[in-house]
Chain A
Amino acid sequence: MRRRVLPGFGLSLGFAVTYLGLIVLLPLAALAWKASDVGFAGILKLLASPRTLAALKLSFGGALLAAGINVVVGLMVTWALVRYRFPGRRILDALIDLPFALPTAVAGIALTAIYAPNGWFGRWLVPLGIQVAYTPLGVLLAMVFVGFPFVVRTLQPVLQSLEQDVEDAAESLGATGLQTFLRVVLPTLVPTLLTGFALALARAVGEYGSVIFIAGNIPLRSEIAPLLIVQRLDEFDYATAAALGVVMLAFSLVLLVLVSALQRWTRRWAEQSA
């Protein structure tokens, strides 16, 4: 009977639940209260303006695309970090977490300074017709930046623990490196890549600080949904802000459930192959 030996069950659980209740659940209840005031039909009506729809489309579409880019690039970078040895590897490995550690407002103004028409990269890209700052492309770039560590850090431990015997076997049977990768390695990484995708997506959809500076926030073109929430709150239009908040929160919750299901799948997969 473990419960009898170690003390503090009531105290620790009581404190944790009360704290979560006050900090997380109560504010969520306030949103639910506001949303039920407006009603489901009311929420849809509040969201039906072209400007709001454009912002939601940019936020969700941009985040999906950014998460996809992160999966491809993240897989390549993780592969290089785990499987190869090269000078500077440990420094680069430590730098992967930079988008986690760097405050979003700092990342936002830094990216804008680089990609603005007179910036380090902007002055070369703009004459080529590639305008990044103050366009949807800038939004996408910032979203890739903030989501990048999620894919690498999810994938890294799995790739490290992957047994290379199977790959050796495939190759001794005559498979090329590419065939081995596509048919043997990639299928085992699918659940992990999906988890990384979902985490990067969740982060990018809600991202605010690093996006708003480079976005330029042009209505119907480069305005993201979180910015609209801020604008509605500035106008004391709590109902529309709450309606947008409910949509974004619902999406986050669906992703959260999806991620935990994916992680259970990954664990089962690992246990089966062990």
Chain B
Amino acid sequence: MTAGRPGRPASVARRLGRASIIVASILFLCLFLVVPLASVFVEAFRQGAHAFVESIDQPEAMAAIRLTLLVAAITVPLNVVFGIAAAWAMTRFQFRGKALLGALIDLPLSVSPVVTGLLYVLMFGAQGWFGPWLAAHGIKIIFAVPGLVLATIFITLPFVARELIPLMQSQGSEEEEVARVLGASGLQTFFRVTLPNIRWALLYGVLLCNARAMGEFGAVSVVSGHIRGLTTTMPLEVEMRYNEYNYVGAFAIASLLALLALLTLAVKSALEWRYQAAENH
């Protein structure tokens, strides 16, 4: 508080209060966040690097990694296009129902992942809405890859849009209007004016969307059916190995996901610091 400010000497009580708040906060964050993170890597290497490599260099693990990358590769671009379209409509035009649209974009954030999975099972499952029709046509969505993709799209739908909407709102549309008046086409305006203005927020949104898409567990767990090598993403493979008491194997895959989380945090912080530095100039 004012303790560090010039002009008034800090009292002993104040300095004591300050020190105890700092120490308690550091202690809490270390015990509560750092220790669980560290434990993932320690457990993964409990039986040495050889066991670690061996438990990843296996067909099911490789299939899980490939499937996770595939799901993210479909989900992220779709949600980027949606995020840009939604942000463009919501920040560049006035229309009725805008608040409702905003609320619907936020909705997936407050729905339980398990309920998300349930929604898709009720729609496409054997006794679901489209179940009989899908079965008659030999199309599998639940307990198959399309179900995993759909559930992941639902879960990660808000991430890009939520980064873009406030930024594009505060930037306003003057620059784009000027470009149009000077004769730029709609696409030129978007690629030369809008996109450069939103690129960092877009990258930030993609990062969060990707991290969640690769790490999602609850929703995909409901629609996956846990068919090894076919419908198990990395988080599901972690669960299956853990339930088989293959702890080193579970933590080995988990450590890859934890690395992804750390990388996401690092890039996110770098972007934030860059953004703050740009703002202060």
B residues in contact with A5, CB < 8 Å: 177, 180-181
* B115 pairs with A86, CB closer than 8 A: no
What 0/1 pattern do residues 90 to 113 of B give for CB contact below 8 A with A?
A: 001111000001011111111111
- Complex: how many Å from CA A31 to CA B109? 18
B201 interface residue per 8 A CB criterion: no
Instruction: Find the A residue at minimum CB distance from B109.
Output: A202
* A98 pairs with B180, CB closer than 8 A: no
- Which parts of B8-58 form the interface with A (CB within 8 Å)? 13-14, 17-18, 21-22, 24-26, 28-29, 32-37, 39-40, 43
How many residues of chain B get a CB closer than 8 Å to chain A's CBs? 102
Contact of B119 (CB < 8 Å), options: A85, A208, A245: A245
- Complex: how many Å from CA A94 to CA B267? 10
A residues in contact with B43, CB < 8 Å: 110, 113
A residues in contact with B95, CB < 8 Å: 9, 13
* A3 pairs with B235, CB closer than 8 A: no
- Complex: how many Å from CA A238 to CA B122? 7
Q: How far is the CB of B170 from chain A (nearest CB, A)?
A: 14
Q: How far is the CB of B76 from chain A (nearest CB, A)?
A: 14
What 0/1 pattern do residues 181 to 211 of B give for CB contact below 8 A with A?
A: 1000010011000000000000000001001
Of the four ranges (under 10, 10 to 19, 20 to 34, 35 or more), the interface on chain A belongs to: 35 or more
Q: Given known contacts A6-B180, A73-B28, is B89 in contact with A114 (CB within 8 Å)?
A: no
A99 interface residue per 8 A CB criterion: yes
- Complex: how many Å from CA A252 to CA B129? 24
* A249 pairs with B217, CB closer than 8 A: no
B239 interface residue per 8 A CB criterion: yes
* B93 pairs with A105, CB closer than 8 A: no
- Complex: how many Å from CA A90 to CA B266? 11
A residues in contact with B247, CB < 8 Å: 113
* A110 pairs with B37, CB closer than 8 A: yes
A186 interface residue per 8 A CB criterion: no
A residues in contact with B251, CB < 8 Å: 109, 113
A126 interface residue per 8 A CB criterion: no
Q: How far is the CB of A33 from chain B (nearest CB, A)?
A: 7
* B217 pairs with A103, CB closer than 8 A: yes
* A206 pairs with B113, CB closer than 8 A: yes
B residues in contact with A236, CB < 8 Å: 126-127
- Which parts of A13-40 form the interface with B (CB within 8 Å)? 13, 15-17, 19-20, 23-28, 30-31, 33-34
* B107 pairs with A229, CB closer than 8 A: no
A residues in contact with B261, CB < 8 Å: 98, 101-103, 106
- Complex: how many Å from CA A57 to CA B189? 54
A residues in contact with B128, CB < 8 Å: 30, 238
B61 interface residue per 8 A CB criterion: no
- Complex: how many Å from CA A105 to CA B212? 12
- Which parts of A65-92 form the interface with B (CB within 8 Å)? 73, 76-77, 79-81, 83-86, 88, 90, 92
Contact of A260 (CB < 8 Å), options: B103, B113, B173, B264: B103
B67 interface residue per 8 A CB criterion: no
A residues in contact with B37, CB < 8 Å: 98, 102, 110
A residues in contact with B25, CB < 8 Å: 76-77, 79-81, 92
* A202 pairs with B118, CB closer than 8 A: no
- Complex: how many Å from CA A23 to CA B44? 37
Q: Given known contacts A11-B85, A30-B119, A31-B118, is B242 in contact with A213 (CB within 8 Å)?
A: yes
* B115 pairs with A206, CB closer than 8 A: yes
Q: Given known contacts A5-B180, A27-B154, is B13 in contact with A229 (CB within 8 Å)?
A: no
Q: How far is the CB of B84 from chain A (nearest CB, A)?
A: 8
- Complex: how many Å from CA A203 to CA B35? 22
22 residue pairs A–B, Cβ–Cβ below 8 Å = A9-B95, A12-B84, A13-B93, A20-B82, A27-B116, A76-B28, A79-B21, A79-B25, A92-B25, A96-B33, A100-B208, A101-B264, A103-B257, A104-B218, A105-B238, A106-B215, A109-B250, A110-B40, A148-B32, A206-B111, A208-B114, A238-B128
